[in-house]
Amino acid sequence: MAERLRRWAPSLALVVAVWACAHAAQASQTVTVLDDRQQKVQIAQAPQRIVSLLPSLTETVCALKQCHKLVGLDRYSNWPESTKSVPRVGGGLDPNIESIVALKPDLVLAAGSTRGADRLQALGLNVLRLEPRNHADAQRVWRTVAQALHVPTAESDRVWQGIQSGVQAAVQSLSPAARQQRVYFEVSPAPYGASESSFMGETLTRMGVANILPASMGPFPQVNPEWVVQARPDVIMAGDSSRASMLQRPGWSRLRAMQGQRLCVFKQDESDMLVRVGPRMAEGAQLMADCLNRVASQADTGVQR
């Protein structure tokens, strides 16, 4: 018996070593990230089935080249084109819990305000709650999602640097005349505007452009139309849904921005890009820069469009 043990000892040692290496490798795959509630979320392996309930998170997953792992989306996620064939599971305010569970996701990405997130967790699903609201949040959420998806840090940082280079290129494309304009950015025809503390407001500030809505009003304040008349913005940016209502507001026909057609009216897909705090922020910044340059050029040449 003793002789047999001596003969098996090297083999047993090898088996133990292999098991230890495998166990260590498996343990090293586990990542722990913090969500918006400052709660730790452990993800043992790279997720293969992902449900996203926020468009900006969907776009982040795809920008990290993990779009093929999406098995369920909220009804508003519409970029990139490939996401349009992914099953819909409601929205952030009304997620279809049964449909989500049936998809057997190993990770659910949701906003902090998503209803039903606690129930999804109670049902055993791994839920990561993230809701970017500003430029700093965009970078934090980018890094957190990359970690959760087990994307190598070097790779995710390289893509992020490309996004930031794009934003900086948009900033540098502004003419001196474009930087001298005062802007009112309307996000909905109620009307609600985007102040200096909003994501779009931060982009304007980064460009060196003045925003008539101060940060003290909150990110997206409801604005009295008369207040805008008194503020006399040089440029108005708004979604296509606001154009018709603007013409009906008392005093707005006298605004320089309205009389001179110093308007930047964005189509729905452009508005989506502008308001989503995510990887398309460079394209959104360039859209705003192009608008400001065009309007400034019109003022210099006296052209009315």
Other C-beta atoms within 10 Å of 107: how many? 22
Confidence of residue 15 (pLDDT cuts 50, 70, 90): very low
Tokens linked to 11: 């083999």
Tokens linked to 2: 């003793």
- CA-nearest of 209, 207, 212, 262 to 232 is 212
Q: pLDDT of 261-292, one tens digit each? A: 899 999 999 999 999 999 999 999 999 999 99
- CA-nearest of 304, 164, 295 to 237 is 295
Q: Is 266 helix (H, G, I), strand (E, B) or coil?
A: strand
Given this model, what pLDDT does residue 244 score? Answer: 84
Q: Is 171 helix (H, G, I), strand (E, B) or coil?
A: helix
Q: Is 159 helix (H, G, I), strand (E, B) or coil?
A: helix
Q: pLDDT of 98-131, one tens digit each? A: 999 999 999 999 999 899 999 999 999 999 999 9
pTM: 0.88
The length of the chain in residues reads 305
- HSE, CB side, 13 Å, CA atoms: give it for residue 172: 6
| Contact partners, residue 196, CB within 8 Å, separation at least 6 | 202, 204, 205, 211, 213, 214, 215
Given this model, what pLDDT does residue 6 score? Answer: 56
The DSSP H or E segment spanning 229 is: helix 225-231
